[in-house]
Amino acid sequence: MRNNTGKVLIAAPVHPVLTDGLAACGYTCIMQEHSSQDIAYGLICDCAGVITSTRLQLDKALLDAAPQLRWIGRMGSGMEVVDLEYAAAKGIKCYSSPEGNCNAVAEHALGMLLGLIRHIVWSHNEVKGGIWRREENRGTELEGKTIGIIGFGHTGRAFARKLQGFDMRILVYDKYKTDDMPANVVNCNSLEHVFKEADIVSFHVPLQADTIHYLDEAFISKMSKPFVLINTSRGVVVDTSALYRGIASDKIIGACLDVLEREPLQSMNIDTRNLIDEMMASHKVVVTPHIAGYTYEALYKMSKTLLDKIISGH
Protein backbone atom coordinates (compact mmCIF):
# COMPACT_ATOMS: atom_id res chain seq x y z
CA MET A 1 0.00 0.00 0.00
CA ARG A 2 1.44 3.37 -1.00
CA ASN A 3 1.88 6.22 1.45
CA ASN A 4 1.57 3.86 4.40
CA THR A 5 2.53 6.40 7.04
CA GLY A 6 0.66 8.50 9.58
CA LYS A 7 -1.37 7.90 12.70
CA VAL A 8 -3.83 5.05 13.15
CA LEU A 9 -6.56 5.15 15.79
CA ILE A 10 -6.94 1.68 17.32
CA ALA A 11 -10.49 1.85 18.73
CA ALA A 12 -11.00 -1.89 19.27
CA PRO A 13 -9.22 -4.79 20.95
CA VAL A 14 -6.66 -6.17 18.47
CA HIS A 15 -3.83 -8.68 18.45
CA PRO A 16 -0.27 -7.27 18.43
CA VAL A 17 0.22 -8.82 14.99
CA LEU A 18 -1.81 -5.88 13.66
CA THR A 19 -0.23 -3.05 15.60
CA ASP A 20 3.29 -4.45 15.18
CA GLY A 21 2.68 -4.92 11.47
CA LEU A 22 1.36 -1.39 11.02
CA ALA A 23 4.28 0.02 13.01
CA ALA A 24 6.73 -1.90 10.83
CA CYS A 25 5.18 -0.21 7.82
CA GLY A 26 5.64 3.26 9.26
CA TYR A 27 2.33 3.89 11.00
CA THR A 28 2.02 5.26 14.53
CA CYS A 29 -0.72 3.44 16.44
CA ILE A 30 -2.81 5.42 18.92
CA MET A 31 -4.22 2.84 21.36
CA GLN A 32 -7.72 3.88 22.46
CA GLU A 33 -9.67 0.62 22.35
CA HIS A 34 -12.32 1.92 24.74
CA SER A 35 -12.77 5.24 22.98
CA SER A 36 -16.29 6.68 22.91
CA GLN A 37 -17.86 8.42 19.93
CA ASP A 38 -17.36 11.84 21.52
CA ILE A 39 -13.72 11.24 22.33
CA ALA A 40 -13.07 9.91 18.84
CA TYR A 41 -13.65 13.33 17.28
CA GLY A 42 -10.55 14.66 18.99
CA LEU A 43 -8.47 11.60 18.22
CA ILE A 44 -9.28 10.96 14.57
CA CYS A 45 -8.67 14.46 13.21
CA ASP A 46 -5.13 13.75 11.97
CA CYS A 47 -5.36 9.98 11.47
CA ALA A 48 -4.64 8.16 8.22
CA GLY A 49 -6.44 5.03 9.40
CA VAL A 50 -8.80 3.73 12.05
CA ILE A 51 -9.45 0.24 13.40
CA THR A 52 -12.90 -0.24 14.93
CA SER A 53 -15.38 -2.91 15.96
CA THR A 54 -18.84 -1.82 17.11
CA ARG A 55 -17.83 0.97 19.47
CA LEU A 56 -17.55 3.75 16.89
CA GLN A 57 -20.01 4.80 14.21
CA LEU A 58 -18.02 6.05 11.25
CA ASP A 59 -20.85 8.28 10.05
CA LYS A 60 -20.64 11.43 7.96
CA ALA A 61 -19.89 13.64 10.94
CA LEU A 62 -16.99 11.52 12.17
CA LEU A 63 -15.62 11.04 8.65
CA ASP A 64 -15.72 14.79 8.07
CA ALA A 65 -13.71 15.21 11.26
CA ALA A 66 -10.91 13.12 9.74
CA PRO A 67 -9.70 14.94 6.60
CA GLN A 68 -6.55 12.80 6.37
CA LEU A 69 -8.34 9.46 6.71
CA ARG A 70 -7.40 7.00 3.95
CA TRP A 71 -8.74 3.71 5.26
CA ILE A 72 -10.98 2.04 7.85
CA GLY A 73 -10.47 -1.47 9.20
CA ARG A 74 -13.36 -3.34 10.82
CA MET A 75 -12.60 -6.10 13.31
CA GLY A 76 -15.31 -8.55 12.27
CA SER A 77 -17.91 -8.47 9.53
CA GLY A 78 -20.61 -5.90 10.25
CA MET A 79 -19.99 -2.87 8.04
CA GLU A 80 -23.17 -1.16 9.23
CA VAL A 81 -20.92 0.87 11.53
CA VAL A 82 -19.50 2.70 8.50
CA ASP A 83 -21.26 5.03 6.06
CA LEU A 84 -19.80 3.13 3.13
CA GLU A 85 -21.24 5.34 0.43
CA TYR A 86 -19.90 8.52 1.98
CA ALA A 87 -16.54 6.90 2.70
CA ALA A 88 -16.25 5.83 -0.94
CA ALA A 89 -17.12 9.34 -2.09
CA LYS A 90 -14.23 10.65 0.04
CA GLY A 91 -11.84 8.03 -1.35
CA ILE A 92 -11.60 6.12 1.93
CA LYS A 93 -11.02 2.39 1.57
CA CYS A 94 -12.95 0.12 3.92
CA TYR A 95 -11.85 -3.34 5.00
CA SER A 96 -13.64 -5.98 7.07
CA SER A 97 -12.40 -9.31 8.40
CA PRO A 98 -15.22 -11.88 8.42
CA GLU A 99 -12.73 -14.57 7.43
CA GLY A 100 -11.14 -14.11 10.84
CA ASN A 101 -14.04 -15.01 13.14
CA CYS A 102 -16.34 -17.14 10.97
CA ASN A 103 -15.00 -20.39 12.43
CA ALA A 104 -15.44 -19.10 15.97
CA VAL A 105 -19.06 -18.13 15.27
CA ALA A 106 -19.77 -21.49 13.62
CA GLU A 107 -18.34 -23.44 16.56
CA HIS A 108 -20.34 -21.33 19.00
CA ALA A 109 -23.59 -21.80 17.08
CA LEU A 110 -23.06 -25.55 17.08
CA GLY A 111 -22.17 -25.56 20.76
CA MET A 112 -25.29 -23.60 21.68
CA LEU A 113 -27.46 -25.85 19.56
CA LEU A 114 -26.14 -29.04 21.16
CA GLY A 115 -26.29 -27.43 24.60
CA LEU A 116 -29.95 -26.66 24.04
CA ILE A 117 -31.37 -29.77 22.40
CA ARG A 118 -29.36 -32.18 24.57
CA HIS A 119 -30.29 -30.20 27.72
CA ILE A 120 -26.61 -29.85 28.59
CA VAL A 121 -26.89 -26.32 29.94
CA TRP A 122 -30.16 -26.85 31.78
CA SER A 123 -29.27 -30.23 33.34
CA HIS A 124 -25.82 -28.96 34.36
CA ASN A 125 -27.44 -26.13 36.30
CA GLU A 126 -29.86 -28.59 37.89
CA VAL A 127 -27.05 -30.89 39.00
CA LYS A 128 -25.22 -27.89 40.48
CA GLY A 129 -28.36 -27.34 42.53
CA GLY A 130 -28.46 -30.96 43.72
CA ILE A 131 -31.17 -32.06 41.26
CA TRP A 132 -30.64 -35.32 39.36
CA ARG A 133 -33.26 -35.83 36.64
CA ARG A 134 -32.67 -38.13 33.68
CA GLU A 135 -36.05 -38.67 32.04
CA GLU A 136 -36.92 -34.98 32.18
CA ASN A 137 -33.63 -34.18 30.42
CA ARG A 138 -33.93 -36.70 27.62
CA GLY A 139 -32.45 -34.96 24.56
CA THR A 140 -32.98 -34.79 20.80
CA GLU A 141 -30.41 -35.74 18.17
CA LEU A 142 -29.35 -33.70 15.14
CA GLU A 143 -29.10 -36.73 12.87
CA GLY A 144 -31.89 -36.75 10.31
CA LYS A 145 -32.99 -33.18 11.03
CA THR A 146 -33.25 -30.40 8.45
CA ILE A 147 -31.62 -27.04 9.10
CA GLY A 148 -32.24 -23.85 7.17
CA ILE A 149 -29.22 -21.54 7.06
CA ILE A 150 -30.26 -18.02 6.10
CA GLY A 151 -27.29 -16.04 4.83
CA PHE A 152 -24.42 -17.95 3.26
CA GLY A 153 -21.39 -15.73 3.60
CA HIS A 154 -18.32 -16.67 5.57
CA THR A 155 -20.15 -17.64 8.79
CA GLY A 156 -23.01 -19.46 7.08
CA ARG A 157 -20.55 -21.54 5.09
CA ALA A 158 -18.43 -22.25 8.16
CA PHE A 159 -21.51 -23.42 10.06
CA ALA A 160 -22.55 -25.70 7.20
CA ARG A 161 -19.10 -27.31 7.28
CA LYS A 162 -19.44 -27.98 11.01
CA LEU A 163 -22.79 -29.69 10.45
CA GLN A 164 -21.57 -32.06 7.76
CA GLY A 165 -20.65 -34.77 10.23
CA PHE A 166 -24.10 -34.84 11.82
CA ASP A 167 -25.93 -36.43 8.87
CA MET A 168 -28.31 -33.52 8.58
CA ARG A 169 -30.09 -32.06 5.56
CA ILE A 170 -28.75 -28.54 5.04
CA LEU A 171 -30.93 -25.97 3.26
CA VAL A 172 -29.37 -22.64 2.32
CA TYR A 173 -31.07 -19.39 1.39
CA ASP A 174 -29.10 -16.29 0.43
CA LYS A 175 -30.70 -13.59 -1.71
CA TYR A 176 -27.28 -12.43 -2.95
CA LYS A 177 -25.47 -15.73 -3.47
CA THR A 178 -26.94 -18.21 -5.91
CA ASP A 179 -23.83 -19.94 -7.23
CA ASP A 180 -20.64 -21.52 -5.88
CA MET A 181 -22.62 -23.69 -3.49
CA PRO A 182 -21.05 -26.76 -1.85
CA ALA A 183 -22.33 -30.10 -3.08
CA ASN A 184 -23.58 -31.08 0.35
CA VAL A 185 -26.17 -28.28 0.68
CA VAL A 186 -29.51 -27.63 -0.95
CA ASN A 187 -29.58 -24.15 -2.48
CA CYS A 188 -33.08 -22.69 -2.10
CA ASN A 189 -34.20 -19.95 -4.46
CA SER A 190 -36.83 -18.83 -1.97
CA LEU A 191 -37.61 -19.19 1.72
CA GLU A 192 -40.51 -21.51 0.97
CA HIS A 193 -38.32 -24.60 1.28
CA VAL A 194 -37.12 -23.42 4.68
CA PHE A 195 -40.67 -22.66 5.83
CA LYS A 196 -41.87 -26.09 4.71
CA GLU A 197 -39.03 -28.37 5.77
CA ALA A 198 -36.73 -26.88 8.42
CA ASP A 199 -36.55 -28.18 11.98
CA ILE A 200 -33.89 -25.59 12.81
CA VAL A 201 -33.35 -22.07 11.43
CA SER A 202 -30.02 -20.27 11.80
CA PHE A 203 -29.45 -16.62 10.84
CA HIS A 204 -26.12 -15.46 9.40
CA VAL A 205 -27.14 -12.19 7.77
CA PRO A 206 -25.72 -8.65 7.87
CA LEU A 207 -27.58 -5.80 9.51
CA GLN A 208 -29.40 -3.77 6.89
CA ALA A 209 -32.91 -2.45 6.30
CA ASP A 210 -34.36 -5.74 5.05
CA THR A 211 -32.91 -7.86 7.85
CA ILE A 212 -34.29 -5.87 10.79
CA HIS A 213 -36.91 -8.10 12.45
CA TYR A 214 -36.32 -10.71 9.75
CA LEU A 215 -37.78 -13.18 12.21
CA ASP A 216 -41.16 -11.71 13.07
CA GLU A 217 -44.64 -13.11 13.63
CA ALA A 218 -45.21 -13.50 9.89
CA PHE A 219 -42.02 -15.56 9.52
CA ILE A 220 -42.95 -17.74 12.48
CA SER A 221 -46.48 -18.31 11.18
CA LYS A 222 -45.13 -19.58 7.84
CA MET A 223 -43.03 -22.31 9.45
CA SER A 224 -44.74 -25.67 8.96
CA LYS A 225 -43.00 -27.37 11.90
CA PRO A 226 -42.19 -26.28 15.42
CA PHE A 227 -38.56 -25.23 15.12
CA VAL A 228 -35.37 -24.25 16.94
CA LEU A 229 -33.99 -20.77 16.28
CA ILE A 230 -30.30 -19.83 16.26
CA ASN A 231 -29.20 -16.21 15.99
CA THR A 232 -25.50 -15.33 16.04
CA SER A 233 -25.78 -12.46 13.54
CA ARG A 234 -27.31 -9.22 14.87
CA GLY A 235 -29.79 -8.85 17.70
CA VAL A 236 -32.35 -6.79 15.78
CA VAL A 237 -32.68 -9.58 13.21
CA VAL A 238 -35.06 -11.19 15.73
CA ASP A 239 -38.15 -9.40 17.02
CA THR A 240 -38.00 -10.18 20.75
CA SER A 241 -41.75 -9.86 21.26
CA ALA A 242 -42.47 -12.19 18.34
CA LEU A 243 -39.89 -14.66 19.68
CA TYR A 244 -41.52 -14.59 23.11
CA ARG A 245 -44.95 -15.30 21.65
CA GLY A 246 -43.53 -18.01 19.39
CA ILE A 247 -42.02 -19.80 22.39
CA ALA A 248 -45.19 -19.39 24.43
CA SER A 249 -47.25 -20.95 21.63
CA ASP A 250 -44.70 -23.77 21.07
CA LYS A 251 -44.19 -22.70 17.44
CA ILE A 252 -40.58 -22.13 18.52
CA ILE A 253 -39.44 -25.06 20.64
CA GLY A 254 -36.02 -23.64 21.45
CA ALA A 255 -33.83 -20.60 20.88
CA CYS A 256 -30.05 -20.09 20.91
CA LEU A 257 -29.25 -16.38 21.10
CA ASP A 258 -25.78 -14.89 21.19
CA VAL A 259 -27.14 -11.44 20.33
CA LEU A 260 -30.12 -9.47 21.62
CA GLU A 261 -32.07 -6.47 20.32
CA ARG A 262 -30.48 -4.26 22.94
CA GLU A 263 -27.15 -5.00 24.57
CA PRO A 264 -26.11 -5.30 27.33
CA LEU A 265 -29.05 -6.34 29.46
CA GLN A 266 -28.81 -3.13 31.48
CA SER A 267 -29.60 -1.04 28.39
CA MET A 268 -32.98 -2.70 27.78
CA ASN A 269 -36.27 -1.10 28.68
CA ILE A 270 -38.12 -2.85 31.46
CA ASP A 271 -40.64 -4.59 29.20
CA THR A 272 -37.99 -6.15 26.95
CA ARG A 273 -35.88 -7.14 29.95
CA ASN A 274 -38.88 -8.89 31.50
CA LEU A 275 -39.45 -10.86 28.30
CA ILE A 276 -35.79 -11.90 28.15
CA ASP A 277 -35.74 -12.86 31.83
CA GLU A 278 -38.88 -14.95 31.47
CA MET A 279 -37.53 -16.76 28.41
CA MET A 280 -34.19 -17.45 30.10
CA ALA A 281 -36.02 -18.98 33.05
CA SER A 282 -37.12 -21.74 30.67
CA HIS A 283 -35.12 -24.73 29.47
CA LYS A 284 -36.08 -23.66 25.92
CA VAL A 285 -33.65 -20.75 25.68
CA VAL A 286 -29.85 -20.44 25.82
CA VAL A 287 -28.36 -16.93 25.80
CA THR A 288 -24.70 -15.89 25.67
CA PRO A 289 -23.32 -12.31 25.87
CA HIS A 290 -22.34 -11.70 22.22
CA ILE A 291 -19.25 -13.89 22.41
CA ALA A 292 -19.69 -16.18 19.38
CA GLY A 293 -16.86 -14.59 17.44
CA TYR A 294 -14.91 -13.57 20.51
CA THR A 295 -12.13 -16.13 20.82
CA TYR A 296 -8.40 -15.74 21.27
CA GLU A 297 -7.83 -17.34 17.89
CA ALA A 298 -10.36 -15.08 16.17
CA LEU A 299 -8.70 -11.97 17.57
CA TYR A 300 -5.43 -13.02 15.93
CA LYS A 301 -7.04 -14.08 12.65
CA MET A 302 -9.12 -10.90 12.30
CA SER A 303 -6.07 -8.77 13.09
CA LYS A 304 -3.89 -10.61 10.60
CA THR A 305 -6.59 -10.47 7.93
CA LEU A 306 -6.94 -6.71 8.34
CA LEU A 307 -3.19 -6.18 8.27
CA ASP A 308 -2.86 -8.08 5.01
CA LYS A 309 -5.72 -6.17 3.40
CA ILE A 310 -4.54 -2.76 4.57
CA ILE A 311 -0.97 -3.29 3.44
CA SER A 312 -1.96 -4.75 0.07
CA GLY A 313 -4.73 -2.19 -0.45
CA HIS A 314 -7.21 -4.91 -1.41
Name the catalytic one among 141, 263, 278, 297. 263
Known catalytic residue: 234?
Answer: yes
For 79, residues 6+ apart whose C-beta sits below 8 A from its C-beta are 94, 96, 206
Cα 105 to Cα 70, 143, 163, 260, 311, distances in angstroms: 30, 21, 13, 15, 26
Interior/surface letters 255-270, b for 16+ CB within 10 angstroms, e for the rest = bbbbbbbeeeeeebee
Name the catalytic one among 234, 261, 278, 297. 234
Partners of 94 in the β-ladder: 72
Name the catalytic one among 161, 193, 283, 290. 290
Known catalytic residue: 80?
Answer: no
Partners of 173 in the β-ladder: 150
302 touches 108 (CB < 8 A): no
Interior/surface letters 222-242, b for 16+ CB within 10 angstroms, e for the rest = ebeeebbbbbbbbbbbbbbeb
Task: Report how far Cα 286 is from the mean position of its chain's Cα atoms.
Answer: 16
Interior/surface letters 112-146, b for 16+ CB within 10 angstroms, e for the rest = bbbbbbbbbbbbeebeeeeeeeeeebeeeebeebb
Query: Which amino acids are annotated catalytic?
Result: 234, 263, 290
